[in-house]
Amino acid sequence: MAFDFNIKNAYCKRVWDDVSTRYADQEHFLQAAGLVLETISPVVDTMPELESMAVLERFVEPERIIMFRVPWTDDQGKPHVNRGFRVQFNSAIGPYKGGLRFSPEVGLDVLKFLGFEQVLKNSLTTLPMGGGKGGSDFDAHGKSDGEVMRFCQSFMTELYRHIGPDTDVPAGDKGVGGREVAWMFGQYKRIKNEFTGVLTGKGLDFGGSLIRPEATGYGLIYFAECMLAKMGTDFKGKTALISGDGNVAQYACEKATQLGAKVITLSDSSGYILDEDGIDAEKLAYVMEFRAAHKKIDEYVKKYPKAKFFKGEKPWGVKADLAFPCATQDEIYLQDAEKLVANGVKLVAEGANMPTREDAIKFLQKSGVIFAPGKASNAGGVAVSGLEMSQNSERLSWTREEVDAKLKQIMTNIHDNAYETAEKYATKQDYVSGANIYGFLKVARAMMAQGLV
């Protein structure tokens, strides 16, 4: 795909030309890197020391990429081999931190883009965490518990030597929930003979944190609440579109509803459901129930026949005030953005990682839609992972109320820092530029302070 970035700073442009040539086949990574290089140009103009210390050249390259094979056997004793990865992108402000994704689309392009975004996201939280990402092209669908457990154990048997509580602290991501984290943690403990906070997203009985499953969805809505306040309004009486039906979508739906919004859509890879009466607490509990049983979203209309199911479609053509893409990358293309604008949406905040394409983002912004990038608005998950690391280090466990209050404060701080930075360097309410510049500056200053490493 050809990108149309307007990179005005000569240093940023030179780095973009180099990276886009070298990694021409890595479309997702290039979109992430190009958008950052475009938006940080104003601050790079004021800091010539960045070029003299080759900060940008280092910033766009991972410190380390680890690739390995993952052999495992199925229930019939047949051997299989998958590919495993860990992209340790930047450790300037703390140990690498980022999830593990088990999904067929996993490869270097996807993991580099996720790791690159994670560097800035973790910086925005102000917690001492670097950025990384990892995973495997393993697909758990149709696999037994025993097969998934054996895969997780084999994956950790290689990964364990590259991670540690002060080196690299993975978490879950798409395809990796509490079950998989627990099996990997058990294998790490077995190999290393030590109990440390080497993984986050653990069960509450062995070092996990309250609010972690809810954190990304809740944090998204807390961030959007701050955006709405800047617009002089709130969630009360607003109609919201949410894509996805996993943890992020579920808990975004729950919190938005609690704050007075009416959520009318959820989706999965098969299509979306539209419930114009709103997906209330009772209906959401049913979604959580059939989702846990790995059933598709059309299950919803079987119990609530007034709702409609749209096979193979996305919910962005429905009239609403707010939109929260919470499924996966590449959900909102330019034509989807045009539908959102035509149907009156005034705010889009990303719950997933880079669900909106670069040209769609720019169209939304030009059309007056207030847009929040995932590195800012979905940082609640990694923020609570950081809080879990703190609890593990102190051998403490905070209450649900304590963690929720800390999460809300972190999301408020991320919002305010992005908003104020945008006002200083870019355009008012340009959360993309504000988040990128604020996150970059902290990492860049740490990189320069530590020398050419």
Q: Known catalytic residues? A: 133
Amino acid at 14: R
> Vertex 386, ends 438 and 287: CA angle to 5°?
100
Question: Which phi and psi angles does 88 have, rounded to 5°?
Answer: -95, 95
Helix (H) or strand (E) holding 322: strand 322-324
Residue 175 to residues 156, 158, 385: CA-CA distances in angstroms? 15, 19, 17
DSSP annotation of 214 reads T
Strand partners, 65: 87
CA-angle at 284, arms to 281 and 288, nearest 5°: 135
Minimal CA–CA distance to 375: which of 329, 436, 447?
A: 436
- Residue corresponding to tokens 């800091």: 47
**Which three-class secondary structure state does DSSP give residue 141?**
coil
Q: How many Å apart are CA 439 and CA 268, to the nearest integer? A: 31
Alpha carbon 271 to its chain's center: 22
For 169, other C-beta atoms within 10 Å of its C-beta total 26
Closest CA to 230 of 346, 132, 133: 346
Determine which helix (DSSP H) or strand (DSSP E) holds 157, and give its type and residue range. helix 145-159
SS3 of residue 232 by DSSP: coil
154, two tokens: 């084999």
Contacts of 324 (CB under 8 A, 6+ apart): 220, 224, 240, 241, 242, 243, 249, 252, 256, 348, 349, 350, 351
Angle, vertex CA 110, rays to CA 225 and CA 183, nearest 5: 85
Cα separations in angstroms, 419 against 110, 123, 227, 234, 416: 28, 15, 9, 17, 5
Q: Which of 119, 116, 87, 113 is nearest to 100 (CA)?
A: 87
**How many alpha carbons lie under 13 Å from residue 72 in its C-beta half-sphere?**
25
